Structure 1
Amino acid sequence: MPIATVNPATGETLRTFRPFGPDEVEERVAAAHRAFRRYRTTGFPERTALLLRAADLLEEDLPEIARTVTTEMGKPLTAARAEAAKCVKAMRWYAGNAEALLADDGPSDADVRDSGAATARVHYRPLGPVLAVMPWNFPLWQVVRFAAPALMAGNTGLLKHASNVPQTALYLEDLFRRAGYPDGVFQTLLTGSDAVEGVLRDPRVAAATLTGSEAAGRSVAAVAGDEVKKTVLELGGSDPYLVLPSADLERAAATAVTARTQNNGQSCIAAKRFIVHADVHDEFVDRFTAGMAALRVGDPMDEATDVGPLASERGRADLEELVDDAVGHGAGVRCGGRRPEGLDRGWYYEPTVLTGVTPAMRVHHEETFGPVASVYRAGNLDEALDIANDSPFGLSSNVWTRDDAEVERCVRDLEAGGVYVNGMTASHPALPFGGVKRSGYGRELSGHGIKEFCNATTVWRAA
């Protein structure tokens, strides 16, 4: 895949970039290794000042970088600005909380004495250069939610970004440079995916984090496993959205529209499978369909646009194949299901509601990366949970009910990394983020995320 900015709203190639050769990659890996040996000895006051400066610069750059993001991957400009603002918030959160999150801890005094020690503590030390393989759908946020905690912990970063967002990738390297980070602390590797294995196998690279497809995760995990290196993987998602009889249907339906179409429907944590109790199924579907059909599809640079184009022509074709397969196996199309009229340039697809979805359809098992919702009718909570868990993925989940007993049951039985009650899934720097099953392993964000790339070092001193 060429490294290029291709505007998904028009299909026009705007800029192409020469991939780094082996010598340039080697130079950057060596620089990351050299920088780590110095940077790991810096204190939290210095790291905090650097990250706060990066946050301030990003805030100043927000209008310009938002336009770059929209141009490269097609999300509405309002969403691109919100993404950049969220990155600023996360940087400032980690700048203010990292020292406390990584404070030394250890066992109780009684357990210290029982171990035969005078003192026993756990120190959290950085691992080294971390390779980050990142996707195009949130090209700023996905990187920052790795970089902010990793850099505050004292690691250095090597970013291999998606090939269709090269200008965003280069901007991020420049952002940290302008903030005053030492040379080599954060660098972009402008390469194709074929270079990832060589970088990961390099003994100077300590670990890797990847957000992306299941196939990409398998590949990186296999190499890392062979090299015995730590990885964090955030892969696909097909999040269930349970609507039970006591739910506020007006709010549930309105939130469902946003939950399915955020980022043009191209989000791992977007709700994708809407599992509705039979008692409220028809009313919910009517409300949900009306909301989806009312969305405005168009130019992502237009402030009035709700849904822009998909990021690539291949992505739209994949989505069309899933919808065609579902219809061929008996699914109903309540709205959408086609390319919108009047938008002949670019890779647009109408917000779509499929009803009567069954396990015979590919959409039941595969992730729909676009504004297509699959709706199921469930006779009771047991059936709803069975449908929800009948998926290879387990990233997050949503539950709409006013019944506390149903909430507790869902928290206990849903196979997911998160359960969001009467609201939609969203990431926040203070909350751990990640999944189970084929959605990956490890956690990003919060104290869990910052410790993923730390060496928990036991320090024991004899009595």
Structure 2
Amino acid sequence: MAAQTLAGDIARDTQDILARLGVAPNRRLDGALEARSPITGEAIGRVDAGGAASTKAAIACADAAFLVWRNVPAPRRGELVRLFGEELRRAKSELAALVTIEAGKIRSEGLGEVQEMIDICDFAVGLSRQLYGLTLATERPGHRMMETWHPLGVAGVITSFNFPVAVWAWNAAIALVCGNSLVWKPSEKTPLTALATETLFERAVARFGSAPDGLSIVVQGGREVGGALVEDPRVRLVSATGSTAMGRAIAPRLAQRFARTIFELGGNNAAVVCPSASLDLAVRAIAFAAMGTAGQRCTTLRRLFVHETVYDDLMARLRAAFTAVSVGDPREDATLVGPLIDEDAYGAMRRALDDARMAGGVVVGGERALADRFPAAFYARPALVAMPEQTAIVKQETFAPILYVMKYRDFDEAMRLQNEVAHGLSSSIFTNDMREAERFLSAEGSDCGIANVNIGPSGAEIGGAFGGEKDSGGGREAGSDSWKAYMRRATNTINYSEELPLAQGVAFDVPQNGT
């Protein structure tokens, strides 16, 4: 009865939050796509879901908006993003609470996700005055060579449940200041956060006053919606976050029409703990990296290689941390680990642990939690698994709080083990030995898109480019020069002389005037 009462409360809380955010009731009550909270497993709302036809209509609207938006000066485009950042600041607590309810993140992580949205807006506003090209040296006298950057077109954004709003913002803020329009397909598991974000963006547009209709459109639904985005030639760029299997399925279809892609796929991330490491620091970093977001981050720490001289000490500390961590309702301040997103995620975790045991692994934790309080939800104790070696299950990404720990003897062995998985998203090393740190960051070290020293494998700061190599997709989002993926480059040569020298000394003199 208590669980049923809480389920009713969470549904009412959700509708109250949506109302405070200004989401109209007719946009969230009667649709065919049902939203469920992983906190209780119960339904919390419904939204309209579309198909291929409605998605194509949205793309047509976004394409028309692009034709107008591309001619708006970039600093003016930045003003819209600035206003959106203001709306996010005002609504931070409500949107974060909705992220917690719909994605199951603890409160501080929900707030952190919205802060990422605010931060990328700030970054993009500055970027709107720095979309620079180069002036290039030319071998021809009386000539100037340069490059210019132009808006690309409609950007399709496909996001996953684990970062239901931040990843869209990484793409949207940059794409908008670059002069593009957007069509966003959010995860079917988190439709309400997308609806709320759309409402906040519409509020910014209204304050801006002169943005074209259809500049950013949300299309809710399943594979049919995603397929329409992938197939439509008007969608010049597709940024897709999800599994490697999803990336393999859509990559050939996008390549067939030469579409631009930004793939942010899986990650089987590792850390190396060296003999000189500060174990106090390492334990704190590993605890969040392995257990935060209930192990449902693409940068979650899943493999840990520990030097044999510090292995026993570190394992004792990790067992204590994994045993003591609080699992529960993510809305409660004491909770550090919330629920898995659904039953399928829990099932995958159980199967992985069974495989690890069969391969000689010793498991601490991993059992289902709070089933009596939340029978329709799926909470699990984080699992610490001592493995004899890096077996097949260790090389496979399981989107759950499982940390496989293995010994290593020398640094070269650690690097080989770190790199011998299919994914290449994120990595870290804990060491106070400068040579080890520099080798880890060198060409012969980590083969990941993110390589950190004395912190976990997180890549959350938006100032850096986020993304990975190999089966992690190769895409880059957020900071650094990731903006170039959202624009097309033109190389320009201007002849301001009366002569016409050809490059490389080529001579091609056509007789003129009959001579």
Q: TM-score, normalised by structure 2?
A: 0.86
Aligned runs of 1:11-50 on 2, under 5 Å?
11-50=41-80
The question of 1:152 aligning with 2:139 is answered no
- Matched residues in 2 for 1:96 and 1:202: separation? 32
The question of 1:348 aligning with 2:390 is answered no
- Matched residues in 2 for 1:452 and 1:359: separation? 36
Aligned runs of 1:190-201 on 2, under 5 Å?
190-201=220-231
The question of 1:360 aligning with 2:388 is answered no
- Matched residues in 2 for 1:445 and 1:378: separation? 35
Is the 2:467–2:474 contact (alpha carbons within 8 Å) kept by the matching residues of 1?
yes
What letter corresponds to residue 339 of structure 1 in structure 2? R
Please name the residue that 2:489 is paired with: 456
Q: Deviations over 1:179-238 (max 9, x none)?
A: 014321111011212222223222221110111100111122111011111101010001
Q: Deviations over 1:110-137 (max 9, x none)?
A: x32x156611111111110011111010
- Matched residues in 2 for 1:343 and 1:415: separation? 44
**1:331 pairs with one of 361, 383, 392:** 361
Report the 3-state secondary structure (helix = DSSP H, G, I; strand = E; otherwise coil) of the residue aligned with 1:179.
helix
Please name the residue that 2:452 is paired with: 420
Q: Deviations over 1:132-173 (max 9, x none)?
A: 111010111111111111111011111011001111111222
- Matched residues in 2 for 1:414 and 1:104: separation? 32
- Matched residues in 2 for 1:444 and 1:304: separation? 33
Q: Identify if the C-alpha distance between structure 1 residues 426 and 360 changes in structure 2 by more than 3 Å, giving closer, same or farther.
A: closer
Is the 1:55–1:88 contact (alpha carbons within 8 Å) kept by the matching residues of 2?
yes
**1:105 pairs with one of 134, 142, 164:** 134
Please name the residue that 1:406 is paired with: 436
**2:331 pairs with one of 286, 289, 301:** 301
Is the 2:307–2:407 contact (alpha carbons within 8 Å) kept by the matching residues of 1?
yes
**1:210 pairs with one of 236, 240, 247:** 240
Is the 2:52–2:224 contact (alpha carbons within 8 Å) kept by the matching residues of 1?
no
Please name the residue that 2:303 is paired with: 273
Aligned runs of 1:84-95 on 2, under 5 Å?
84-95=114-125
Is the 1:117–1:460 contact (alpha carbons within 8 Å) kept by the matching residues of 2?
no
Please name the residue that 2:508 is paired with: none
Query: How far apart are 1:88 and its partner, in Å?
Result: 0.6
Which one has a bigger Cα radius of gyration? 2
- Matched residues in 2 for 1:443 and 1:77: separation? 28
Is the 1:352–1:371 contact (alpha carbons within 8 Å) kept by the matching residues of 2?
yes
Aligned runs of 1:425-444 on 2, under 5 Å?
425-444=458-477
Is the 1:357–1:374 contact (alpha carbons within 8 Å) kept by the matching residues of 2?
no
Q: Deviations over 1:241-293 (max 9, x none)?
A: 10000000111011100111221210011111011010111111111221122
Unpaired stretches in structure 2, ≥5 consecutive residues:
1-31, 206-210, 498-515
What letter corresponds to residue 466 of structure 2 in structure 1? F
The question of 1:128 aligning with 2:159 is answered no
Query: How far apart are 1:308 and its partner, in Å?
Result: 0.4
Report the 3-state secondary structure (helix = DSSP H, G, I; strand = E; otherwise coil) of the residue aligned with 1:397.
strand
What letter corresponds to residue 145 of structure 1 in structure 2? W
Q: TM-score, normalised by structure 1?
A: 0.95
Aligned runs of 1:193-272 on 2, under 5 Å?
193-272=223-302
Please name the residue that 1:67 is paired with: 97
Query: How far apart are 1:73 and its partner, in Å?
Result: 1.4
Q: Identify if the C-alpha distance between structure 1 residues 177 and 115 changes in structure 2 by more than 3 Å, giving closer, same or farther.
A: farther
What letter corresponds to residue 76 of structure 2 in structure 1? E
Is the 1:4–1:165 contact (alpha carbons within 8 Å) kept by the matching residues of 2?
no
- Matched residues in 2 for 1:231 and 1:80: separation? 28
- Matched residues in 2 for 1:209 and 1:299: separation? 32
| Aligned residues between the structures | 455
- Matched residues in 2 for 1:116 and 1:373: separation? 62
The question of 1:139 aligning with 2:172 is answered no
Please name the residue that 1:178 is paired with: 203
- Matched residues in 2 for 1:172 and 1:344: separation? 29
Is the 1:197–1:223 contact (alpha carbons within 8 Å) kept by the matching residues of 2?
no
RMSD, matched Cα: 1.5
- Matched residues in 2 for 1:120 and 1:354: separation? 59
Query: How far apart are 1:23 and its partner, in Å?
Result: 3.8
Is the 2:191–2:220 contact (alpha carbons within 8 Å) kept by the matching residues of 1?
yes
Unpaired stretches in structure 1, ≥5 consecutive residues:
none
Report the 3-state secondary structure (helix = DSSP H, G, I; strand = E; otherwise coil) of the residue aligned with 2:148.
strand
- Matched residues in 2 for 1:407 and 1:321: separation? 36
- Matched residues in 1 for 2:452 and 2:421: separation? 18
Report the 3-state secondary structure (helix = DSSP H, G, I; strand = E; otherwise coil) of the residue aligned with 2:477.
coil
Report the 3-state secondary structure (helix = DSSP H, G, I; strand = E; otherwise coil) of the residue aligned with 1:167.
helix
Identity %: 30
Query: How far apart are 1:343 and its partner, in Å?
Result: 4.3
Query: How far apart are 1:430 and its partner, in Å?
Result: 1.5
Query: How far apart are 1:304 and its partner, in Å?
Result: 1.3
- Matched residues in 1 for 2:382 and 2:36: separation? 23
What letter corresponds to residue 122 of structure 1 in structure 2? E
Is the 1:260–1:271 contact (alpha carbons within 8 Å) kept by the matching residues of 2?
yes
Report the 3-state secondary structure (helix = DSSP H, G, I; strand = E; otherwise coil) of the residue aligned with 2:58.
helix
Query: How far apart are 1:361 and its partner, in Å?
Result: 4.0
- Matched residues in 2 for 1:449 and 1:72: separation? 29
- Matched residues in 1 for 2:453 and 2:227: separation? 40
- Matched residues in 1 for 2:354 and 2:128: separation? 48
- Matched residues in 1 for 2:298 and 2:141: separation? 48
- Matched residues in 1 for 2:224 and 2:315: separation? 44
Q: Deviations over 1:287-325 (max 9, x none)?
A: 122112211000011121100000111111111110111
